[in-house]
Amino acid sequence: MTYQDPLQGRLGKLANAIAARVVQTLDLPQLVSEIDIAGIIDQIDILEIMDQSDIDAILQQADMDAVLDTVDIDRVIARVDANALLDRVDANALLDRVDVNALLDRVEVDALLSRVDANALLDRVDVERLLNRIDVNALIARVDLDAVLDRVPVDELAQRAGIPEIVQESTSHMAASFIDFVRRIAVGLDLVVYGLAQRVLRRQAADLPQRPRLITAEDGG
Amino acid sequence: MRSSRQDVSGNYAGAVTRLLAHSVDIAVAGLLFVIGLAALDYVLQTIVGVDAVTDNPEVWTATAASVWLFLYWWVSIAVAGKTIGKALLGLRVVTRDGEILSSFRSALRAISLPFSYLLFGFGFLGIIFGRERRALHDVVAGSAVIYDWGPRTAELPVPISAYLARKSVTESDESSPS
């Protein structure tokens, strides 16, 4: 059982009746128009309200998906001035924060390269200009020639180039030339000695046989 | 310049070339004999276990050397028509007519070769003064020695070739009626 003040019951009814009468007589639109809403808003300390509000709790209760579903993203993006936005971006600072290696690890290079038309790409390259920009001496200075040569199959290359055969042929030719040189000197001395002997014997060398009967110059050579 | 050299392929070989070839043969045959003797001595002592020293080592050595030298000259001439020295100097042994020397004539030539040394090398004088430049052992075996440089042409040096060419022109001018 609850206690009810008899005065309050009557006064309440009276107040309600008065209020209903007042409401009926009031011109609410006119009343609202006379309210200085801007002044009221100015008196509101939004920051204090924000401080007193548990934003996280509010956001947790909010159905963000439903909110986003009602947002026309295309229209929003269409209203964004992308160039102005990019102008405000510090690209270098952004790139400093990018882990390029991790990014490249996620790139499937084969698939990327398969989509590249290498011929078209090379057609667009000004090779002369590119070469002019290359410091060949500096490039060569960075090359570890010993390591490069270690990877080169020199013996195999020499075999394929026929260098052993060339060396062998050259050596054989030199040896043959030297032997022929000695032989020519000996043959010349033979002729000198033979000429002197025939002169002592008072014989004409031209009358003597030069070679065996069945030997021709072709047979001998 | 090569064409200006006179071709002497197949001509009788002269004294200097044959002397050089003979010297090479003596050196090669002697070296091979010493190596062979050392190898034989090693085999007899180490493997067989026999002492090769005898009462008359000089006689055995001289006999072995004679046999070896005979084999060296005989086999090489009979098989190839030339010894190592003759091959090096570009010489070939043929019959007097220019045919291949038989095995028998090669053996006869090898046996008679030492006799050319008798009387201070009298047997070799035929190479200098003979019409066919044959030594005593060539006469005995019916052989002759000619220039044979194999696939290449036996040639005289350029100065001697030029001298012979000038001499030939002069003689033909003198013999022709003016």
- Asked if B12's CB is within 8 angstroms of A210's CB, the reply is yes
pLDDT tens profile A82-96: 788 778 878 788 778
The answer to whether position A96 is within a domain reads no
Task: Tell me which of A177, A178, A182, A190 to substitute to probe the interface with B (most B C-beta atoms closer than 10 Å).
Answer: A190
pLDDT score of A130: 82
Task: Tell me which of B20, B164, B169, B171 to substitute to probe the interface with A (most A C-beta atoms closer than 10 Å).
Answer: B20
**Angle A163-200/B15-42 helices, nearest 10 degrees?**
120
pLDDT score of B13: 94
**Residue A196 clears pLDDT 70, i.e. is over it:** yes
Domain count, chain A: 1
pLDDT score of B19: 95
pLDDT tens profile A97-130: 878 788 878 878 788 888 888 888 888 888 888 8
What gap in Å lies between CA B67 and CA B60, rounded to an integer? 11
pLDDT score of B53: 63
pLDDT score of B29: 95
pTM exceeds 0.90 for this model? no
**Residue A6 clears pLDDT 70, i.e. is over it:** no
**Residue A71 clears pLDDT 90, i.e. is over it:** no
Report which of B14, B17, B12, B7 is spatially closest to residue B157, judged by C-alpha positions.
Answer: B7
Residues of B in contact with A208 (CB under 8 A): 131
- Please report, as a single letter, which amino acid is at residue A179: I
Q: Touching check for B174 and chain A: CB below 8 Å?
A: no
pLDDT tens profile B18-64: 999 999 999 999 999 999 988 988 888 888 777 766 677 788 888 98
The answer to whether position A42 is within a domain reads no
Helix, strand, or coil (residue A143): coil
The two tokens of residue B30 are 């002697």
SS (H, E, C) A157-193: HHHHHCHHHHHHHHHHHHHHHHHHHHHHHHHHHHHHH
pLDDT score of B104: 96
The two tokens of residue A166 are 């060339």
Instruction: Output Rg (C-alpha) for chain B, integer angstroms.
Output: 21
pLDDT score of A2: 52
The answer to whether position A188 is within a domain reads yes
**Residue B80 clears pLDDT 80, i.e. is over it:** yes
Q: Which of A112-121, A143-152, B89-98 has the highest mean pLDDT?
A: B89-98
pLDDT score of B1: 45
Helix, strand, or coil (residue A61): helix
pLDDT tens profile B110-163: 999 999 988 778 899 999 999 899 999 999 999 999 999 988 888 888 888 888
Provide the pLDDT confidence category of residue A24 given band limits of 50, 70 and 90.
Answer: confident
**Residue A3 clears pLDDT 80, i.e. is over it:** no
pLDDT score of B107: 96
The two tokens of residue A120 are 């078209």
Provide the pLDDT confidence category of residue A4 given band limits of 50, 70 and 90.
Answer: low
List CB contacts of B99: < 8 A, sequence separation 6 or more. Answer: A214
What gap in Å lies between CA B3 and CA A201, rounded to an integer? 32
**Residue A10 clears pLDDT 90, i.e. is over it:** no
pLDDT score of B54: 67
pLDDT score of B33: 94
**How high is the ipTM of this complex?**
0.86
Residues of B in contact with A220 (CB under 8 A): 8-11, 146-148, 154
* Residues in B 5-24 with any Cβ partner in A closer than 8 A: 5, 7-17, 20
Q: What is the rounded end-to-end Cα distance, in angstroms, of chain B?
A: 33
Task: Write out the residue range of the structural domain in which residue A201 sits.
Answer: 165-205
**In this predicted structure, which of A153-167, B27-41, B75-89 has the lowest mean pLDDT?**
A153-167
pLDDT score of A14: 87
pLDDT score of A221: 47
Distance in Å, alpha carbon of B14 to nearest chain A alpha carbon? 5
Q: Touching check for B122 and chain A: CB below 8 Å?
A: no
A67 vs A177, which has greater pLDDT? A177
Check the CA dihedral B111-B115-B117-B122 and report its sign.
negative
